[in-house]
């Protein structure tokens, strides 16, 4: 099994890149491990000084369970996890089974912040994009699918998302094996990326 990790800020295009890689390497039937599935219940999340829940901290995830499940999957065993759905209570989330495969793609904000996760990766990717593009994507997503007002989105961006990126993502960018520029260079970068990955994968 080869384990590829994808990290990047909110709205950077991590999931889009993941889906494209999974489609490109469909012959391996890639397994996908999303760190989003390990968010703690809202009552266990940190509250900022204004009484707002902050989901953009490493402590927002159940790290112990995440690492345990990932190690099990890397070890060739299947896992069961509740698929994360925003604003859904635990009784509404769907229990999914993830089977091991020759190619495992791990996606999340804290791939580099969690040393136990980083140690399991064979190859790591950092998705880089202009912050203005990230913000536009987040505004669209959170208004359309999450029902947030623009004021709520901007509050989170300024007080949670940006500090999270500066503290827990940006300092680790140099650790990545590959920087994927999700802009006008994206197509060329994808071709370069697959060229680098090709020799690593089973024949």
Residue pLDDT, tens place only, 115-164: 999 999 999 999 999 988 889 988 888 888 777 889 999 999 999 999 99
pLDDT reported for residue 203? 75
Q: At a CB cut-off of 8 Å and minimum separation 6, what does 53 contact?
A: 42, 45, 46, 47
Please give the share of the chain, as a percent, with pLDDT higher than 70.
97
Instruction: Read off the pLDDT of each residue in 85-97 and give the average, rounded to a whole number.
Output: 68
Q: How many CB atoms lie within 10 A of CB 134?
A: 22
Cα separation, 185 vs 27, in Å, equals 26
Q: Using DSSP, state whether 176 is helix, strand or coil.
A: coil
Domain ranges of the chain: 2-197
Buried b (16+ CB within 10 A) or exposed e, 79-91: bebbeeeeeeeee
Q: How much is the pTM? A: 0.91
**193 half-sphere exposure, CB direction, 13 A CA radius:** 27
**Strand 103-107 with 31-34, pairing:** parallel
On the question of pLDDT at 91 being above 60, the answer is no
Cα separation, 148 vs 154, in Å, equals 10
pLDDT reported for residue 155? 94
Instruction: Read off the pLDDT of each residue in 175-198 and give the average, rounded to a whole number.
Output: 96
What backbone torsions phi and psi does residue 113 show, to the nearest 5 degrees? -70, -35
Strand residue runs (E) in the chain: 2-8, 31-34, 46-47, 53-54, 79-83, 94-98, 103-107, 123-128, 178-181
Instruction: Read off the pLDDT of each residue in 4-22 and give the average, rounded to a whole number.
Output: 93
Residue pLDDT, tens place only, 33-60: 999 999 999 999 999 999 999 999 999 9
Task: Classify domain 2-197 at the CATH class level.
Answer: alpha beta
pLDDT reported for residue 86? 63
């Amino acid at each position: 099994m080869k384990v590829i990790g994808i990290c990047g800020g909110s709205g950077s295009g991590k999931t889009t890149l993941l889906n494209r890689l999974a489609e490109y390497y469909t012959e391996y039937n890639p397994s996908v491990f999303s760190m989003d599935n390990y968010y703690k219940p809202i009552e266990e999340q940190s509250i900022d000084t204004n009484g707002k829940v902050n989901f953009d901290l490493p402590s927002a995830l159940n790290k112990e369970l995440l690492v345990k499940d990932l190690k099990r999957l890397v070890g060739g065993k299947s896992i069961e996890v509740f698929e994360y759905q925003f604003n859904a209570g635990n009784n509404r989330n769907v229990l999914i089974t993830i089977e091991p495969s020759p190619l495992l793609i791990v996606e999340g904000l804290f791939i580099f912040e969690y040393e136990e996760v980083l140690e399991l990766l064979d190859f790591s990717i950092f998705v880089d994009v202009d912050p203005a593009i990230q913000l536009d994507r987040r505004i669209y997503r959170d208004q359309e699918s999450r029902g947030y007002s623009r004021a709520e989105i901007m509050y989170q961006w300024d007080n949670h998302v940006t500090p999270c990126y500066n503290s827990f993502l940006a300092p680790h960018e140099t650790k990545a094996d590959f920087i994927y520029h999700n802009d006008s260079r994206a197509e060329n970068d994808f071709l370069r990326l697959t060229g680098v990955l090709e020799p690593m994968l089973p024949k």
